[in-house]
Amino acid sequence: MTVETYTIEGYPEKETGLLIAENDQWILVKHIPVDYVIDGYRLYKKKYIEKRKSKAKQEKIARVLRLKNITIEKPTNFNFGNELDILKWSEKTYGLFEFQDHESELFYGKLNATEDHRFIIDMIKVNGKIEPDYDYEFITEEIQIIGFESDYFESVRLLMNDELKGAPQLKKV
């Protein structure tokens, strides 16, 4: 069991996680926002990681997680891919996705349109309302973190599903 802390380009705070798997582009962790608390999954894009460490503090966290019998498993049907592949997987699995870009702003959404390395989303606000006319064009390369299954993610998902019960269905991409 390995716990690591990551310094990510442009982010004011360091990120800590329980390492699950990695490939050439991504690191998949169970996110540790504070102390010994596990809150969902995070994917960190390696090209934006400035520093990666696992020392005494991280070893202590790993010890506590072992004592708590925390499991190290990839989410069901998860496979590494490019940014759009992972966002599509998240949307198919959970109904939405969450990502942070180079501005370190957090976005929730559904894919509206994709073209080469650019995409437009139907933004999901924190109250669960879907804004289909959100026309900002994102660049896939600028995604630094993708998250899912955190408490906040699940709360937005529940609110979104509740909103959709009373609203006409949006088109699927």
- Digit-by-digit pLDDT tens for the chain (173 residues) are 889 999 999 888 899 999 999 999 999 999 999 989 999 999 999 999 999 988 888 889 888 988 998 888 889 899 999 999 999 999 999 999 999 987 668 899 999 888 888 999 999 999 999 988 887 889 999 999 999 999 999 999 999 999 888 755 555 55
What is the rounded CA–CA span in Å between residue 70 and residue 36? 11
pTM for this model (two decimals): 0.88
Is the distance from CB of 122 to CB of 163 less than 8 angstroms?
A: no
Contacts of 102 (CB under 8 A, 6+ apart): 9, 10, 48, 142, 144
Best CATH choice for the domain 1-76 from the list 3.30.450, 3.40.50, 2.30.30, 2.40.128: 2.30.30
pLDDT at 149: 94
Domain assignments of the chain as residue spans, ordered by start = 1-76, 81-173
Burial class (CB in 10 A: 0-12, 13-18, 19+), 51: exposed
Which of these, 89, 111, 109, lies nearest to 100 by C-alpha position? 109
Is-same-fold flag (1-76; 81-173)? Answer: yes
- Architecture of domain 81-173 in this structure: Roll (2.30)
